[in-house]
Structure 1
Amino acid sequence: MKNIITILLISATSLMFAQKSSTEKADRLFDRMWYKEASVLYEAQAQKLADNDKRNSSEDHQDYVRVLKRAGDAYFFNTDMENANRCYDELLSNHYSDVEPEYIFRYAHTLEGIGRYREAKRWMKEFSKRTENKDDRSDKLNQVNQTVEDVLDIEPGFTLKNVSVNTKYSDFGPMYYKDKLVYSSAIDTSNYHTRIYHWNEQPFLDMYLGELNDIESDLDKINEFSEEINTRYHEATLAFSPDETKVYFTRNNYDGDLGRDGNGTNHLKLYSAELSRDNDSILSWNNIKELPFNSEDYSVGHPSVSEDGKLLYFVSDMPGSIGATDIFVVDILEDDATSDAEYSGYSKPRNLGDNVNTAGREMFPYITDRALYFASDGHLGLGALDVFESKIKDQTFDTPINLGAPLNSELDDFGFIIREDKNTGFVCSNRLTGKGDDDIYSFVRLPEAAPKPCDQIIRGYVSNTITGERIANVAMTLYDESGKELEKTTTDISGAYAFEKVLGCATEFNVTAAKTGYGPKEKPVLTLDETGETVVALGLETVNELIVEEGGILKIKIGIIYFDLDKSYIRKNDAAIELNKIVLLMQEYPNMVIQIESHTDSRNTDSYNMALSDRRAKSTRDYIISQGISADRIESAKGFGESQLINKCSDGVSCTEAEHQFNRRSEFIIVKM
């Protein structure tokens, strides 16, 4: 913005050089913050140096770079982002090694100011790299969890209206006073000669009072707020005590003359005045005095008083500031009681800290019982100053939130005030769609949209942890964090499952998997924090290494049961040894019930093979029973002959002995455990 912000921001930036040059007049104008006039001279000098054949000399080169910087800064501090971008672009494109990191930061801001957000993001990363991540603006403007695109996607929360009293000059700094609105304007209504503040060639600022309409969206019947407070120089931004008998306001460092420090900078100060009634019962603001923490060396301004009247918030670049300008707070003490006479009536100023303040500019605080509202170019925004909200929680301020468009724009948006109970208020902006320089807009805060449901579907799969094969028909159960059963399902043929129950995001739950022959598995899970699916994979292992699953059927896998040719008795030296493994397993799991199936190869006749395999199955059953296993735990013992060959070796097919051996097998199928 092109007005009171600039006064508070700049004394003499450390990036400027005090060397003598042919731009001495422009430098004097710049140091006095006559930026518009200074920019004309800098531009002319830059063009002259650009055309100079001698600019290849080191001295001329340095002078040209310095003039480009000053020209860009003159535009930047006057919020002429397009021209500032042009100058900074020349600097970074052709003189990068001569550019301090601060100019990368400013260049990124000008890109935001002209709507080139993607490029701004890239240059802000370059700023972070150049500052080795030591400047917190790189962190706050490149937040991990938010981008400029996220700010642009914020649902509109306000409707804005340009108020009728705006002029072609600067109108800003609204504040409620009874059923009226006080604001600052550069409209020239004095009887003196036109008073111009030269950084943007506008009349000096005074405060005016207007009556609000019924819905507080506009105002009329404009009068001067106070003859006692308004002077020949700047008065702006004020705040009232809860009973509205005391006012705090911002004024130039002025005591009969416009005072300046050694750098030619005229700082801001905070003043207070009290409402009194004279003998004719006419109310007026009197007893005007400076606040004790003002200084000739730094600025103090833009007050806001807490609703209980105990705290005074303000902006300053005083020692202890984190950035260009910070928000501070003091206690307003009763009866001027204080332990420090230096701050009579007030406590020592306290910086609000780096959760609110950044290395950039924090401006125009407005405190309610709900939140602190302020403008900043140090937090992630849409360009220049944006309005942020920091909610009050446990007497501390939460991480500031950008209030999004249309409240915020590519240029300066600031001076936000609100009646929390009515959701109405005012904000200021120098966006290009306004009537003049800074304009006042009334707004209505829209009801907060109901939060979009954040839903999570739970799905996944179950596999064998040893073989990696997916497991079908696994009983899956979903429990909430308290252990309450929510739903049951089973895995399909591919081992996949999905619950129909919809859970909330970031919700704790448990999934269990169980199947006969496998050890149970439970897995605690936290759903994701955005709508979608949480995939939960579980691995199961059989309860014993002899138990395997083939084609969805649990079997006991032992070595080959060998029989003598055409015989069915159990050989003690090999077959019995393998069958004893089954006996031991069934003793370990006393509820296990099995089926025995015996198979032959294709050699010999079908009827012969069927009879032989059946005898072998029953012989196997009898042996297991003889070892102490109850007969009712063997559900069946049956031969299948050559009817279930597992390879190509059917009748008439030539096969090796090894290939035939694959078909001569005994299988032990687990029915239950």
Structure 2
Amino acid sequence: MKVLTIIICIPMLVFGGALLAQPLTTIPYQAHLEKASEYSETNNYASQLDELEEAYKKKRDKSMIPLMADLNNKLRDYAKAETLYKRIVDADKSGNNMEAMFKYGRMLKMNDKYGEAAEVLRKVKDSDDEKWSSLAILELKGILLAVQTDSTINQVAVTSAGPKINSKSGEYSPFIFENELYYTSTALENGADPGKVYLVKLLKSQRDKEMAWAKPVEVSAMLTASSPALGNVAISMQDQVMYVTKVTFNGEEVATSRVYYCVRDGNGWSDPAIVQGLPDSSIVKHPMPGELYGRDVLFFSSDAPGGTGGFDLYYATKLSTGVFDSPVNLGSMINTPADEITPFYKDGRLVFASDGLPSFGGLDLYSTEWNGTSWSLPVNMGFGYNSPADDMGYVVDEEGYEGFLVSNRVGTTSLRGKTCCDDIFTFQKSKPVIDLDVYVLDENKPLRGGNLTIGEQFKPETNMTEGNDNNYKFSYELEINKGYFIKVAKLGYFPDSTYVKTTDIKVDTAFVVKINLVPKPEIEVISTNQPIRLNSIYYDYNDAKILKASKPDLDYLNELMIQYPTMVIELSSHTDSRGNDEFNQKLSQRRAESAKNYLVDKGIDTARIQAVGYGETMLLNNCVNDAKCTEEEHRFNRRTEFKIISGPTSIEIKKQITKERGKVIDTKTLETKAK
């Protein structure tokens, strides 16, 4: 009995990858061709290729090479495909086989041979064959993008998710939910019948003690005989709704792919129900919940009629759980005549895979930003995320720093060749370093010996207080996406505080906060009948008019009178010694009345203020009659004072030390609080 070992080939139409066939036993040449023809009718490319290769070994029929090259291309064995296409190009003496030359150049590109690929593709571009010339132009743009992109800048380290996640078959559609990795897999179970079409199961994995991904378990029995494969999975964090695609086949060709939803039910999920409102006569895959125009939406990829090309990206607005409005095409800014698949949306950013934009290889990952009304021009995400092979299925966790993607890049665990099958890869994006330097100052000069308290806003349990007797600088490293309350205090100074937010920071950032503390005034208790000088109230010579610079002190006195409604004061005015004594007496009375009127105009009862002019009878320095004094010394004698004559017994004021002709005079100024 002749045994055929067949493994299902799930087309990229659903997952983006394929499964391959194992070696065949010896069969006569013609039987190989007949079997190859049978497998061709069911699109079983792997088995078809195996039969053709066996037939070619028996009879070197060069007419078989183009078909074998195309099959290796479809099965993503780029190295073999390159070799076979080169044989076709070399054998074409006319040099007019632009199709073979284009495919050869593209395989060179996908095997990371950019220089050789460009040389071949330029010949195609310069040909008269419009179809292949236009395709060559796109590939050349991708090569130019690759060689001009510095692979060391902004590159993330992408590594395999490991043997417990990846198999020799294919793994697809990773998604992170509640710190667990959900994904689908076509891995064959031990003892499984290799001749049947196998289920694509939904699996999940948790981290073990070493933080590696543990052996996965099946999520639930979502599969039935009528829907034997689960294609893709995505979960709405907000609604706790899982979206999955169920796929049916006609032979091995996809017949239908529909989106279903399951609602979180305790620790499990409800039975899947079909999503209403999406195209029901087209392939619909890669569902992804998101938000546009303030509404919940579902992104997806579909080959529905009326699109831009093969598979386009769409969104549908959510009406209720499992029910969506008519789909809307994302437009030509994103969609191309080729395929756009695997959308992932987070915080206004859409990441998707496309082979219709300039790429490093086949499918590349691109990102676009939503500004509230439109999408930005898609940007290639660069090396690391992308490779010369196919890259798709990008997802990140809630914080946006750990993520996964799907790729058939070199390094996968493959059944055939180095690039046949998709694996899940993981990456870690470095969180930006956020430094905080707090400088404690007094009038912009270093102030040592302060205490700083820092903590997350509204979380007093996170507060941390630090003292620094020898320096005036405090340094911290902050975390991303948080708000910090910062308070600085020092004995003898009023405390001050500020707030720092670290949301939406994408690059290393340094916050520099300078806090100038205001010294507390030296407090002295002033009792009843003790004169208090209004320090900033001065008058021009021979004038009783209130100067503009005097108003702050009078305004403060007004506030004090309001604060203490029972307080009655004497408001006195003094002149310098120049001029006639009688004149000075009258002038000082007018000045006192002028100050009183200012307060009365502010609403203070006139009975609470006694205006008294003392003339030159109470000089503060030695500038008596005929003394030689400066104008400033004379001005120092021209002043207004007040004292409490009834009401509160004391108030608090600060001291101001001034010098007057070699003698220290302790004068009082009204610039602080009263009690």
TM-score (structure 2 length as normaliser)? 0.52
Q: How far did residue 238 of structure 1 move?
A: 1.0
| 1:187 alignment partner, SS class | coil
Correspondence 1:374-393 to 2 at 5 A: 374-393=352-371
Q: 1:282 to 1:328 in 2, by over 3 A?
A: closer
| Contact 2:363/2:391 (<8 A) preserved | yes
Partner of 1:332: 318
Aligned to 1:319: 305
Partner amino acid for 1:182? Y
Q: In the alignment, which residue of structure 1 is the partner of 2:331?
A: 353
Deviates more, 1:94-103 or 1:177-186: 94-103
Give CA deviations for 1:580-613 in whole Å, capped at 9, x if unaligned: xxxxxxxxxxxxxxxxxxxxxxxxxxxxxxxxxx
Q: 1:413 to 1:282 in 2, by over 3 A?
A: closer
Give secondary structure in 1 for the equivalent of 2:214.
strand
Question: What is the aligned partner in structure 2 of residue 364 from structure 1?
Answer: 342
Does the C-alpha gap of structure 1 residues 28 and 81 become closer, same or farther in structure 2, counting only changes over 3 Å?
same
Name the structure 2 match of 1:578: none
Q: CA deviation at 1:249?
A: 1.3
Corresponding position: 1:245 with 2:252: no
Q: Say whether 1:42 aligns with 2:17.
A: no
* 1:399-435 deviation line (CA, Å, top 9, x unaligned): 2222222232222222110136342111122223234
Unaligned runs of 5+ in 2: 1-7, 19-30, 415-420, 435-675
Of 267, 282, 294, the residue aligned with 2:255 is 267
Contact 2:45 2:75 in 1 (8 A): yes
CA distance in 1, matches of 2:297, 2:195: 35
- Evaluate the alpha carbon distance shift between residue 359 and residue 244 of structure 1 in structure 2; reply closer, same or farther with a 3 A threshold: same
2:216 alignment partner, SS class = strand
- Which residue does the alignment assign to 2:72? 75
| Change beyond 3 A, Cα 1:25–1:300 | farther
Q: Are 2:407 and 1:410 aligned? A: no
Superposition pairs for residues 271-670 of structure 1, below 5 Å? 271-275=259-263, 277=265, 283-289=268-274, 292-295=277-280, 298-307=282-291, 310-334=296-320, 345-419=323-397, 421-436=399-414, 437-446=421-430
Structure 1: distance between partners of 2:157 and 2:85:
35
Q: Pick closer, same or farther for the CA change 1:443–1:427 going to 2, 3 Å.
A: same
Distance in structure 1 (CA, Å) of the matches to 2:17 and 2:410: 24
Residue 187 of structure 1 aligns to which amino acid in structure 2?
Answer: A
Amino acid at match of 1:220: A
**Offset of 1:174 from its aligned partner?**
0.5
Structure 1 residues 424 and 74: alpha-carbon distance in aligned structure 2, compared to 1, 3 A threshold: same
Cα 1:190/1:405, change in 2 over 3 Å: same
Q: For residues 231 and 94 of structure 2, what CA distance do their matches in structure 1 show?
A: 41
* CA positional deviation for 1:85: 1.3
Decide whether the 8 Å contact of 1:3 with 1:170 is kept in 2. no
Distance 1:172 1:43, change over 3 A: same
Partner Cα distance (2:121, 2:433) in 1: 32
Residue 178 of structure 1: aligned partner: 178
> C-alpha displacement at 1:158, in angstroms?
0.8
Alpha carbons of 1:432 and 1:142: their partners in 2 closer, same or farther (altered >3 Å)?
A: closer
Q: Secondary structure at the match of 1:240?
A: strand
Partners in 2 of 1:185 and 1:410 — Cα distance? 23
- Say if 2:38 is the partner of 1:33: no
| Contact map agreement 2:184 2:233 (CA 8 A) in 1 | no
Deviation readout 1:283-313 (Å, 9 max, x if unpaired): 43214226554455x4221111115772222
The CA distance in 2 between the partners of 1:173 and 1:408, in whole Å, is 17
Q: Distance in 2 between matches of 1:100 and 1:352?
A: 37
Shift of 1:23: 4.7
Q: How far, CA to CA, are the matches of 2:433 and 2:144 in structure 1? A: 20
1:367/1:163 CA distance change after superposition, 3 Å: same
Could you state the TM-score of these two structures normalised by the residue count of structure 1? Answer: 0.52
Give the corresponding residue for 1:219.
213
Other-structure match for 1:93: 90
Give yes or no for contact 1:305–1:312 (8 Å, CA) kept in 2.
Answer: yes
Name the amino acid aligned to 1:324. G
Q: C-alpha distance in 2, partners of 1:31/1:10?
A: 20
Displacement of 1:391 in angstroms is 2.7
- The verdict on how the C-alpha distance between 1:390 and 1:316 changes in structure 2, with shifts beyond 3 A counting, is same
Matched-pair contact (CA < 8 Å) for 2:393–2:405: yes
The answer to whether the aligner puts 1:155 opposite 2:157 as a matched pair is no
**Cα deviation 1:96-126 (Å, max 9, x = unaligned):** 8798755544333211121211122234334
Structure 1 equivalent of residue 540 of structure 2 = none
Identity fraction in percent? 20
CA contact (8 A) 1:251 1:271 kept: yes
Partners of 1:294 and 1:98 lie apart in 2 by 45
What is the identity, as a one-letter code, of the residue corresponding to 2:43? M
Deviations 1:342-372 (A, max 9, x none): xxx3333333333323333322111122321
Is structure 2 residue 15 aligned with structure 1 residue 5? no
CA distance in 1, matches of 2:193, 2:326: 41
Pairwise CA distance, 1:176: 1.7
- In structure 2, the CA distance between the partners of 1:174 and 1:335, relative to structure 1 (3 Å rule), is closer
User: 1:267 aligns to what SS in structure 2?
Assistant: strand
Contact 1:157 1:447 in 2 (8 A): no
Q: 2:280, 2:124 → 1: CA distance?
A: 33
Counterpart contact for 2:312–2:341, Cα < 8 Å: yes
> 2-side partners of 1:9 and 1:211: how far apart?
25
Residues 243 and 99 of structure 1, relative CA distance in 2, 3 Å threshold? farther
CA separation of 1:103 and 1:248: change in aligned 2, threshold 3 A: farther
Q: Which residue of 2 aligns with 1:118?
A: 115
Superposition CA RMSD, Å: 4.0
2 CA distance for matches of 1:37 and 1:99? 31
- Say if 2:230 is the partner of 1:235: yes
Which amino acid in structure 2 is aligned with residue 34 of structure 1? N
Amino acid in structure 2 at the alignment position of 1:93: D
For 1:366 and 1:230, how far apart are their aligned partners in 2? 28
Tell me what 1:487 maps to: none
Q: How many residues matched?
A: 404
Q: Structure 2: how far apart are the matches of 1:96 and 1:354?
A: 41
| DSSP-derived class of the 1:446 partner | coil
Partners of 2:105 and 2:117 within 8 A in 1: yes
Kindly tell me: are residues 71 and 403 of structure 1, through their superposed partners in 2, closer, same or farther at Cα, counting changes over 3 Å? same
Q: CA deviation at 1:269?
A: 0.9
Question: Shift of the alpha carbon at 1:224?
Answer: 0.5
Give the Å deviation of 1:76: 1.1
Residue identity matched to 1:355 = M
Structure 2 SS opposite 1:381: coil
> For the residues of structure 2 that align with 1:239 and 1:266, how far apart are their CA atoms?
21
- Relative distance call for 1:126 and 1:304 in structure 2 (3 A) is farther
Structure 1 residues not aligned, in runs of 5+: 12-20, 52-63, 198-202, 337-344, 451-673
Contact 2:32 2:51 in 1 (8 A): no
